[in-house]
Amino acid sequence: MSASSASAPGRVNLLGEHTDYNDGFVLPTAIPQHTRVEVGPAPRFVLHALGRKTEFSLERAPEEQSAKYVYGCLRELQAAGFPVPPLEIRVESEVPMGVGLSSSAALEVATLRALRSYAGFELDDVKLAQLAQAAEVRHAGVRCGIMDQMASSLAEPGRMLFLDTRTLERRVLPMPEGTAIAVLDSGITRSLASSGYNERRAQCEDACRRLGVKALRDVTGVEALEELPDLLLRRARHVVTENARVLAALEADAPRFGELMDASHRSLREDYEVSTPEMDELVQRLRAQPGVFGARLTGAGFGGACVALCRAGTTRAAAEGALARYSGRGRLLVA
């Protein structure tokens, strides 16, 4: 077999944060940056990524974190009945890492796409996203939902992917008319991201047990949450109202969409408590720029990136205006 290569984009989530592991709704879009993976025949498994060379076998997980994502994909393919021969794998990525734009999902999806074309596996884009998620959960130790892998596998830049994470029903929709997005890095490292993320998941599960529902998706009004203790009430209220915001966004024009993003940020800050003071400042500075309809943190939170919905043609000026006044060290990622 001769070498094959494939690429996959990172994603930015516009609305629907911390809803995917609650069987809820999400609204991501693809970013222009991609990860590219090339695979070719080799006597044993060799990975070249991030300037490092890692040799491994399918019997034992490699130590290095980025190698675990690739290893996980190969193991999940094998477990699904697709035979994986020894390979030389080369990874190059433009997707910013560690800021909440799913560089790991882009790596997983690009790896699986490259393998699909190399070995001719019959694997549709949804199944591919599911294998990518399983790779991350089982082999990279992150209990993520399905949003990032579905977005990397199925979203397009400049369009929104509406996804019901329970049924995997989805629709690709245009952005609100006359808009474009700006994505900025707050410069704050997501140090609590994995412990905080797992803690939020556990709190949602606790709320479900107390409410007697399968998932918070099944709660439609906040009145039903009144019996919960305060902390769980706030966590659950974020999820319930965030799902409603995603559904409202499907019909929204640009100003309304912006209001929904602002409300999402407030809810993530006050009820879900995954923002930081620096992120709040950057989001505030973005909102104050001409042409900005709304802004919010994006991804799991605890630092990382934020996204603004802007009038088309104003994204760069808005991003630069916000960064010039920001007291931290941010940077422009997409405009």
Question: Which positions are annotated as active-site residues?
Answer: 148
Only segment of 32-40, 142-150, 213-221, 280-288 that touches ligand GLA (CB under 6 A): 142-150
Q: If residue 308 lies in a helix (H) or strand (E), which one and from where to where?
A: strand 305-311
Among 15, 129, 144, 279, the residue binding ligand GLA under the rule CB under 6 A is 144
Decide if residue 20 touches ligand GLA (CB under 6 A): yes
Decide if residue 208 touches ligand GLA (CB under 6 A): no
Decide if residue 96 touches ligand GLA (CB under 6 A): no
Secondary structure of residue 25 in the 3-state scheme: strand
Closest CA relative to residue 152, chosen from 21, 7, 10: 10
When the beta carbons of 21 and 162 are compared against ligand GLA, the nearer one is: 21
Q: Are strands 52-56 and 331-334 parallel, antiparallel or unpaired?
A: unpaired
Phi, psi of 213 (to 5 degrees): -120, 160
When the beta carbons of 7 and 133 are compared against ligand GLA, the nearer one is: 133
Restricting to residues 312-331, name those near ligand GLA by CB under 6 A: none
Are 233 and 273 in contact, with CB atoms under 8 Å apart?
Answer: no
Q: Count the residues of the shown chain that bind ligand GLA, applying the rule CB under 6 A.
A: 10
Are 275 and 54 in contact, with CB atoms under 8 Å apart?
Answer: no
Decide if residue 17 touches ligand GLA (CB under 6 A): yes
- Nearest distance from C-beta of residue 29 to ligand GLA, angstroms: 14
Alpha carbon distance 317, 294 (integer Å): 15
Decide if residue 303 touches ligand GLA (CB under 6 A): no
Are 96 and 103 in contact, with CB atoms under 8 Å apart?
Answer: yes
Secondary structure of residue 268 in the 3-state scheme: helix
- Nearest distance from C-beta of residue 40 to ligand GLA, angstroms: 30
Decide if residue 300 touches ligand GLA (CB under 6 A): yes
Among 15, 18, 111, 254, the residue binding ligand GLA under the rule CB under 6 A is 18
Reading the block at residue 80, the tokens are 């699904």
Decide if residue 163 touches ligand GLA (CB under 6 A): no
Are 132 and 97 in contact, with CB atoms under 8 Å apart?
Answer: no
For ligand GLA, the binding residues (CB under 6 A) are 17-18, 20-21, 144-145, 147-148, 299-300
